[in-house]
């Protein structure tokens, strides 16, 4: 067997949340390229349909389930649909998240409601998804949480977001310890600067800013969704079969400074 075979996920069924665009789309297509069937889900049904078509074009089955993970019961519906329609649930990627606030602000003017909303979006939805997935991974499996470099340090003006992502890292470690005996591995990735739609909308960067921003990254470029997808494939494949409870910062060597890691 070639070492490259360890990066295959043939016959596995994956749920990727927030998979209609950006990093989630790249993760879904990477898993399909490696042999997995994929449940595609996000709030925008048209984007879900487009990504599902791309998965099928790669010769894999795709299930389209648009919806909001904050709706009660949605994570359980996704997990059960994977089992009922595709035959199992082996991989769960908590990619949905970010922020719905189109501005940044210090913690001193952040309201209780804004903090609760951020934790609901970035932590509670991932918690519920991980729980429902683990309950159905009867033959072991892999869960990957998409956190952020912002959750690993001080993040002035994006404190609520960063706090929710920091909590997600602890959730990763704790759940990994609790489900290891069931053969379920739980890991996280923390993207650095990846210019996605919310990056421009929330942080108000323009295309003209990107070249200057890239100079702050030791490897000399900004991140791409495919950089994140490759790491998720590692964490969900047999290649990482002896790895759990870990977080991988994918930031081109940049681990300090202003927080700009929104998906």
In a domain, 23, yes or no: yes
Average pLDDT of the residues in 199-216? 76
In a domain, 257, yes or no: no
Catalytic site residue from 7, 92, 161, 235: 161
In a domain, 50, yes or no: yes
Q: Is 161 a catalytic residue?
A: yes
pLDDT classification of 199: cutoffs 50, 70, 90: low
- The pLDDT, as a whole number, for residue 260 is 44
In a domain, 258, yes or no: no
For residue range 134-160, what is the model confidence (pLDDT) as tens digits?
A: 999 999 999 999 999 999 999 999 999
Q: What is the mean pLDDT of the chain?
A: 93
Domain count, the chain: 1
Which CATH number covers residue 56?
3.40.50.720
In a domain, 255, yes or no: no
pLDDT of 258 higher than 80: no
pLDDT of 30 higher than 80: yes
| Domain hosting residue 181, numbered range | 3-250
In a domain, 204, yes or no: yes
Contact 92, 15 (CB under 8 A): yes
In a domain, 199, yes or no: yes
Contact 43, 19 (CB under 8 A): no
Residue 66 CB-density burial (10 A; 0-12 exposed, 13-18 middle, 19+ buried): middle
**Ramachandran class of 108: left when φ > 0, alpha when ψ lies in -120 to 50, beta otherwise:** alpha
In a domain, 263, yes or no: no
């Amino acid at each position: 067997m070639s070492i490259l075979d360890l990066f295959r996920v043939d016959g596995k069924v994956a749920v990727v949340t927030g998979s209609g665009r950006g990093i989630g789309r790249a993760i879904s297509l990477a898993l399909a390229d490696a042999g997995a069937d994929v449940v595609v889900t996000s709030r925008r049904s048209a984007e879900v349909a487009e990504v599902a078509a791309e998965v099928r074009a790669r010769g894999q089955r795709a299930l389209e389930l648009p919806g909001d993970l904050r709706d009660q019961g949605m994570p359980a519906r996704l997990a059960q649909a994977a089992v009922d329609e595709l035959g199992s649930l082996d991989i769960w990627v908590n990619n949905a998240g970010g922020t719905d606030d189109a501005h940044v602000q210090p913690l001193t003017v952040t309201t209780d409601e804004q903090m609760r909303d951020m934790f609901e979006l970035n932590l509670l939805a991932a918690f519920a998804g991980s729980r429902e997935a683990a309950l159905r991974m009867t033959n072991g499996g892999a869960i990957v949480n998409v956190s952020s470099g912002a959750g690993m340090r001080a993040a002035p003006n994006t404190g609520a977001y960063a706090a929710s992502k920091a909590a997600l890292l602890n959730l990763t470690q704790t759940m990994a310890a609790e489900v290891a005996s069931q053969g379920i591995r739980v890991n996280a990735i923390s993207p650095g600067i990846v210019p996605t739609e919310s990056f421009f909308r929330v942080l108000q960067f323009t295309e003209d800013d990107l070249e200057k921003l890239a100079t702050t990254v030791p490897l000399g470029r900004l991140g791409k969704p495919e950089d994140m997808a490759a790491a998720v494939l590692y964490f969900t494949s047999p290649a990482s079969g002896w790895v759990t409870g870990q977080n991988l910062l994918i930031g081109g060597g940049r681990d300090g400074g202003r927080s700009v890691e929104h998906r």
